Amino acid sequence: MSAKRIAVLVSGGGTNLQALIDAQHRGEIVNGEIAAVIASKPGAYALERAAKAGIPGYVVARKDYPSNQAMTIALVDKLTSLGIDLVVLAGFMVILTEEMVRSYPNAILNVHPALIPSFCGAGYYGLHVHEKALEYGVKVSGATVHFVSEECDGGPIVLQKAVAVEEGDTPEALQRRIMEQAEWVILPRAVSLFCQGRLKVEGRTVRILKPLNLSKECLQ
Ligand code: GAR
């Protein structure tokens, strides 16, 4: 199986991108390579992280297009011209339209900072997610990596990890703990599983297949 070419789409700081870069340096993205970082904003700090790691960075800015649909079409053109196999939304704050999902069916992963189906959907992004979770009074939150479908935050779930809410948590403190303990762990893991061909989507369920174990007998 040839190595999968990964594009990471970002809008801001890019700590999840950094977790992917670090995992790649440790050899933990098996059969995959981050081939491009694409930002929706020209000044996104994530582009500096990409440059430091020697990964080509591109900007497809929301402000340069009249609608989310026009921007999505431009993104699909860019991704196909780069020969991308897997699209990773890592803190990407633009809602993509159906053209993206049709071009990359079950080949777009998103990281969301809550346990879907809680605190997700339109309006739930970044710090707002943690504000809502604290307002509601939950004792546990966490993160989810899921395939992107045409429903916002509604695609099949790949991995989830729970994180305890602590007494006196602010949205910022909860956000940081969820990033450290959940997002930066499960996003690289999900990307590596995809690149190894180990994610099988069956309706709403994603099965994680065992690694291919080619023993000597099999190879003879
Ligand atoms: C992350 O917490 C990510 O899960 C969230 O935005 C933050 C981006 O941080 N994404 C969403 O809310 C998408 N719905 P980062 O730029 O440092 O990775």
Place of tokens 């065992």: 210
φ/ψ (deg, to 5) at 10: -135, 160
- In this structure, which residue's CA is closest to atom 16 in ligand 1? 14
171 lines ligand 1 (CB under 6 A): no
Amino acid 220: pLDDT: 42
* CA neighbor of 108 nearest in space, from 190, 15, 33, 1: 190
CB 142 within 8 A of CB 160: yes
Amino acid 219: pLDDT: 47
**One pLDDT digit (tens) per residue for the chain, 220 residues:** 899 999 999 999 999 999 999 999 999 999 999 999 999 999 999 999 999 999 999 999 999 999 999 999 999 999 999 999 999 999 999 999 999 999 999 999 999 999 999 999 999 999 999 999 999 999 999 999 999 999 999 999 999 999 999 999 999 999 999 999 999 999 999 999 999 999 999 999 999 999 976 555 444 4
14 lines ligand 1 (CB under 6 A): yes
H-type alpha helices, the chain: 15-25, 45-52, 68-81, 98-103, 127-136, 171-178, 184-195, 216-219
Measured CA to CA, the distance from residue 27 to residue 22 in angstroms comes to 9
Catalytic residue check, 112: yes
Measured CA to CA, the distance from residue 44 to residue 12 in angstroms comes to 5
| Tally of CB atoms within 10 A around 63 | 8
DSSP, collapsed to helix, strand or coil, labels residue 183 as helix
Measured CA to CA, the distance from residue 172 to residue 96 in angstroms comes to 26
Measured CA to CA, the distance from residue 148 to residue 165 in angstroms comes to 27
Residue 74 has, within 13 A of its CA and on its CB side, a CA count of 17
The predicted-structure confidence for 35-63, as pLDDT tens digits, reads as follows 999 999 999 999 999 999 999 999 999 99
Q: Of 112, 128, 130, 146, which is the active-site residue?
A: 112
Measured CA to CA, the distance from residue 36 to residue 142 in angstroms comes to 28
User: One-letter amino acid identity for 49?
Assistant: R
142 lines ligand 1 (CB under 6 A): no
pTM: 0.95
169-187 burial code (b ≥16 CB/10 A, e <16): bebeebbebbbebbbbbbb
